[in-house]
Chains A and B, each alone.
Chain A
Amino acid sequence: MGTITMSSARLQDTRLVEQTLAGDQAAFEQLVERYQSRLFALARKYTRNVVDVEDIVQDAFLKAFSKLHTFDHRASFYTWIYRIATNTILDGLKRRGRSPVHNVEDPECLGDVAPVQLPSPSSELEGAEIAEITREVLEELPDIFRAVLVMREFDGLAYQAIADTLGISIGTVESRLFRARARFKDKLLTLYPEFGEA
């Protein structure tokens, strides 16, 4: 059943892409409607600024439109646009100029990071509260660490998919993930030392 639904969705995407390429504006509007919610959710994982999110998602769709002729239907449309969106988000964040501390930092040269033991958030914390803290901590991380964490922890992407999306090797994905997790924990404990006491 699931397979039939998925195939149907892909067929519909294929039809909409073809119609868009033939000059049908309404078809592209439908395509945007189908994926806008997921891309907004994706962008919000990278930044809490609502204006940034809208601009970035819009850029991602416009970029996808300009590259639509390269979509070869081998992967799903979402996989394809996810990659475009992720790179657009990272470009957008870079352009908006994040803290100089983040910009001059070379995360690949930070040396070994000691694994930090981190307790899970207490059950008293509400889901929304946890999500807000997580987003706050993520925003403090260098973009390349945030990207692998979002892709792996939020979106559940396999190492290979992360590597393909970012254009890096699987070994680099492993190493970045390891460092990103350590940095996440470290930053979390810096911002919220109370989580280190449990």
Chain B
Amino acid sequence: MDCKDCQPLIPCYVDQELSEAQCGPLRQHLMDCQDCRKSLAGQKSLERWFASPAAGEAEVPTGFARRVARRAFAGDLGRTTEAGPGAQELQPVSSTEGNETPIYSFVLWTTAAAAGLLLVVSGLLFQVRLGSGDTLHADGKAPSVEKLLERADNLADPAFPGPAGAEDGSALEDMSDVSTKKAGEEPLQPAEH
């Protein structure tokens, strides 16, 4: 065993939490290594600070037991009844516990409320953008009325090599329907030549 292996075991050794199999090599190393012996002495130096019998003295107010029993049977469950840790349901004390100050809670709740509000507003905006009903609304990306009229002219032109259906004018009718609804005007008539 070297110092690197020995150091982490020293606190457990002081607390008598090591098995005999672990203690043997550790003791051997401690005999040979002054630095680790110093470390061991440092760990043991606390003992005296906690050995004072005065630390265990405490006065109990008169009638305490009677008061507590009365309150218990009156249904008073104390101020910490929520998630009360029984022997089987202990609350772990994690490093993050105890960080909840009133300000921390306020910030959390405000953030949650703001997030909720943002969600609602986003939903509303989404609804508005999609639109609803039977009518179509023009927006910046749709072809303009002028563009549609130009296309209609082209389709009506016999020289224009339009798509199938252009000959019988059905495509033109379709097109004029769309442009009319877009512009909110009277249905388009094929251009007269």
> Contact residues of A with B, CB < 8 Å?
25-26, 28-30, 32-33, 36-37, 40-41, 43-45, 53-55, 57-63, 65-67, 70-72, 75, 79-80, 83-84, 87-88, 90-92, 94-95, 97-98, 100, 102-104, 106-109, 115-121, 127-128, 130-135, 137, 142-144, 147, 149, 152-154, 158-159, 164-168, 174, 177-178, 181, 184-185, 188
Contacts and interface: CB of A to CB of B under 8 A. Distances in A.
B66 interface: yes
Contact of A87 (B46, B52, B68, B91): B91
B78 A154 contact: no
Contacts of A128: 52, 54
A87 B48 contact: no
A54 B61 contact: yes
Contacts of A84: 84-87
The contact size tier of chain B is 35 or more
Contacts of A60: 78
Contacts of B98: 90, 94, 98, 102-103, 142-144
Most buried by A among B50, B51, B61: B50
Given A37-B60, A174-B11, A66 B81 contact: yes
B39 to A, nearest CB: 6
Q: Name the 8 nearest CB pairs between A and B, nearest first.
A: A167-B92, A62-B78, A131-B54, A40-B58, A153-B50, A29-B69, A67-B86, A108-B95
A37 B58 CA distance: 7
Contacts of A130: 48-49, 51-52, 54
A177 B8 CA distance: 12
Interface in B21-80: 38-39, 41-43, 45-61, 64-73, 76-80
Contact of B73 (A28, A45, A94): A28
A103 B46 contact: no
A177 B12 CA distance: 10
B97 A94 contact: yes
B90 A167 contact: yes
B88 interface: yes
Main secondary structure of the interface of A (DSSP, over half): helix
A63 B60 contact: no
A147 B41 CA distance: 23
Nearest to B59: A40
A87 B90 contact: yes
Nearest to A157: B15
Contact of A63 (B12, B38, B51, B77): B77
B17 interface: yes
B45 A33 contact: no
A153 to B, nearest CB: 4
30 contacts: A25-B69, A32-B65, A45-B55, A53-B58, A59-B79, A62-B72, A66-B72, A83-B87, A83-B90, A87-B85, A91-B80, A92-B79, A100-B101, A106-B96, A115-B42, A118-B45, A120-B47, A120-B48, A128-B52, A130-B52, A131-B53, A137-B49, A154-B55, A159-B12, A159-B15, A166-B92, A167-B93, A168-B92, A181-B46, A185-B45
Contacts of B68: 29, 32, 36, 58, 61-62
Contacts of B72: 25, 28, 61-62, 65-66
B99 interface: yes
A72 B87 CA distance: 9
